């Protein structure tokens, strides 16, 4: 009898479109109640791409670092700082008990090779005690070395802290995320929230420059969060965004997030604010940076459609994601430079934004004292500057090749330009060369868009 009753209840739940123990359920008014469960990273590198807010730098010096008392027999030390505790958020602006910069030291066990030991002076007593030594989780020669911090202040001990060393950057981030599921238009999507600012609560921010936590949404339902450390950076798309006061979900609707204080539930309430669409080509897919008055926003562009609340915005940058003929993934950033582009979004007026391919190279030169700067800019059909943020290996590719010839056609300089701000550049010293009109030729050959060519005159007077 009891078994029959259980089957009957389960069948009724399926008929009603939910499971007997739903992770998310719809409440009256269209609200979604999402149950969250803390899940530790099985691979510590999964969280590296969530760490922009908590940063510091290696190789620093100063009284705070030079005054640290080291454990005995430590060789080849490198000082660093790590800043934690950002609080510019909605409703949680009180100072955090651990807010500020912490100082530490990295060292090599044998005085050779890469550093494999790390201490952070958590109690700020100037003494690096054995209890403050972090645990190395990756090989000592790894490109990104990750440590588990020990001796944490009680205020952040709940979250747990991983420290990643990449080049000269030091990044701190939690060792876990809070996962759940939600049903949008009859389809189940995985979501996760990361306590990015390490304040032991889910923090909602007013904009992308605030300190809201990170929201992950598995838009393509493939079981992984893009740009969440699960995939190469060149596949960064709409699945990693800031948890702001109104978030766009896979059903194309905006919702107002409301987290529980114990981080076990997230309520999404439909946002009644009218919206309108901005149309681009389908290759635009990712987070678009916008400015509205003094507020800065990051909003997903999904398959070439940017859905926004009604109003006037300035477009700061647009993500352009494309797969080349060899199956390689590329991520470009279309900057709103040399000038911002303004768009007026309304429900009854679809905005067409001229941007994207074809791309071209604009070559330029300028004198700086006795040096001549040689420059190349990638621009799109809307005359906006474009940067190639990542190729199939997740890295920024090498710059374009250039050749500078004198008035007789003889080569006086050639090589590869290096990325500098929003363009590629190289230097040339015209001293000892005759006056006249030189020619700069630039070629950028990438599988993404083939060979781009640009040229300009360089006048030596």
Q: Are residues 345 and 426 part of one domain?
A: no
What does pTM read for this prediction? 0.77
HEC readout, 358-395: CCEEEEEEEEECCEEEEEEEEECCCCCEEEEEECCCCC
Tell me what pLDDT residue 263 has: 92
Better-scored residue on pLDDT, 190 or 96: 190
- Is residue 428, in this structure, part of any structural domain at all? yes
Closest CA to 306 of 355, 268, 267: 355
Q: Residue 121: which pLDDT band, with cuts at 50, 70 and 90? A: very high
Q: Is residue 168 domain-resident?
A: yes
- Residue 101, Cβ neighbours under 10 Å: how many? 13
pLDDT digits (tens, 9 = 90+) for 153-167: 877 767 788 999 888
Taking 50 as the threshold, does the pLDDT of residue 74 lie above it?
yes
> Given 174, 202, 235, which residue is the final one in a domain?
174
Report the mean per-residue pLDDT for the chain.
81
Q: How confident is the model at residue 28 (pLDDT cuts 50, 70, 90)?
A: very low
In this structure, the answer to whether residues 320 and 369 fall within a common structural domain is: no
Q: Say if residue 93 is in the same domain as residue 149.
A: yes
Answer yes or no: is 286 within a domain: yes
Confirm whether 136 is domain-assigned: yes
Q: Are residues 282 and 372 in the same domain?
A: no
**369 & 349 share domain:** no
166 and 48 in one domain?
Answer: yes
Cα–Cα distance measured from residue 255 to residue 184, given in angstroms and rounded to the nearest whole number: 12
In a domain, 99, yes or no: yes
CATH code of the domain covering residue 313: 2.60.40
pLDDT tens-digit map of 299-344: 888 888 889 999 999 888 888 877 777 777 787 888 866 666 788 9
Dump pLDDT digits (tens) for 190-223.
999 988 877 788 888 865 545 568 888 998 888 8
pLDDT on residue 232: 37
On whether residue 90 sits in a domain, the answer given is yes
Residues 96 and 67 in one domain: yes
Q: Are residues 65 and 101 in the same domain?
A: yes
Range of the domain at 427: 360-460
Confirm if 178 and 190 have CB atoms less than 8 A apart.
Answer: no
Instruction: Of 79, 84, 77, 83, give the one whose Cα is nearest residue 62.
Output: 79
Residues 349 and 364 in one domain: no
Q: Are 336 and 402 part of one and the same domain?
A: no
Total domains in the chain come to: 3
pLDDT in tens, 220-267: 888 888 754 334 333 446 787 888 889 999 999 999 999 999 999 999
Domain limit, last residue, from 335, 353, 371: 353
Return the higher-pLDDT residue of 141 and 235: 141
> Tell me: the pLDDT tens digits for 393-438?
767 788 999 999 999 999 999 999 998 878 899 999 999 999 999 9
Token pair listed for 367: 């004198």
CATH code (residue 448): 2.60.40.1930
Tell whether 319 and 421 lie within a shared domain. no
Label residue 119 by pLDDT band (50, 70, 90). Answer: very high
From 190, 151, 204, 195, select the one nearest 175 (Cα to Cα).
195
Instruction: Please tell me the predicted confidence (pLDDT) of residue 7.
Output: 34
Residue 4, sorted as left (phi over 0), alpha (psi -120 to 50) or beta, turns out to be alpha
pLDDT at 92: 46
CA distance 404 to 456: 10
In a domain, 260, yes or no: no
Q: Using the 3D structure, point to which of 353, 369, 395 is the last residue of a domain.
A: 353
């Amino acid at each position: 009898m009891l078994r029959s009753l259980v089957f009957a209840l389960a069948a009724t739940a399926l008929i009603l479109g939910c499971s007997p123990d739903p992770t998310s359920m719809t409440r009256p008014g269209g609200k979604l109640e999402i149950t969250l469960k803390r899940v530790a990273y099985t691979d510590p590198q999964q969280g590296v791409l969530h760490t922009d807010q908590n940063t510091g730098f290696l190789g620093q010096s100063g009284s705070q670092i030079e005054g640290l008392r080291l454990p005995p027999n430590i060789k080849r030390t490198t000082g660093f700082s790590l800043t934690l505790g950002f609080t510019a958020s909605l409703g949680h602006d009180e100072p955090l008990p651990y807010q500020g910069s912490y100082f530490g030291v990295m060292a090599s066990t044998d005085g050779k090779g890469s550093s494999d030991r790390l201490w952070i002076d958590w109690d700020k007593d100037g003494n690096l005690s054995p209890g403050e030594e972090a645990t190395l989780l990756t090989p000592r020669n790894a490109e990104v070395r990750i440590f588990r911090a020990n001796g944490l202040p009680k205020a952040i001990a709940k979250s747990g802290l991983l420290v990643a060393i990449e080049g000269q950057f030091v990044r701190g981030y939690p060792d876990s995320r809070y996962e759940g599921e939600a049903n949008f238009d009859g389809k189940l999507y995985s979501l996760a929230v990361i306590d990015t600012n390490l304040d032991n609560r889910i923090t909602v921010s007013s904009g992308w420059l605030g300190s809201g936590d990170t929201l992950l949404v598995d838009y393509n339902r493939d079981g992984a969060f893009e740009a969440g450390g699960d995939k190469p950076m060149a596949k960064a798309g709409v699945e990693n965004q800031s948890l702001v006061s109104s978030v766009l979900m896979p059903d194309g609707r905006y919702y107002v997030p409301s987290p529980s204080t114990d981080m076990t539930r997230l309520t999404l309430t439909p946002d009644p604010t009218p919206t309108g669409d901005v149309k681009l080509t389908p290759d635009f897919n990712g987070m678009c940076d916008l400015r509205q008055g003094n507020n800065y926003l990051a909003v997903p562009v999904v398959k070439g459609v940017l859905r926004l609340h009604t109003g006037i915005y300035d477009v700061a940058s647009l993500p352009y994601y494309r797969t080349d003929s060899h199956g390689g993934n590329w991520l470009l950033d279309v900057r709103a430079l040399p000038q911002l582009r303004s768009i007026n979004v309304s429900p009854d007026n679809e905005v067409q934004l001229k941007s994207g391919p074809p791309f071209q190279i604009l070559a330029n030169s300028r004198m700086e004292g006795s040096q001549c700067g040689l420059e190349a800019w990638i621009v799109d059909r809307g005359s906006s500057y474009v940067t190639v943020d990542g190729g199939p290996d997740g890295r920024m590719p090498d710059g374009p090749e250039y050749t500078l010839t004198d008035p007789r056609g003889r080569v006086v300089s050639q090589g590869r330009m290096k990325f500098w701000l929003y363009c590629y550049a190289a230097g040339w010293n015209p001293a000892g060369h005759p006056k006249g009109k030189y020619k700069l030729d630039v070629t950028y050959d990438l599988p993404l868009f083939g060979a781009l060519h640009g040229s300009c005159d360089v006048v030596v007077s």
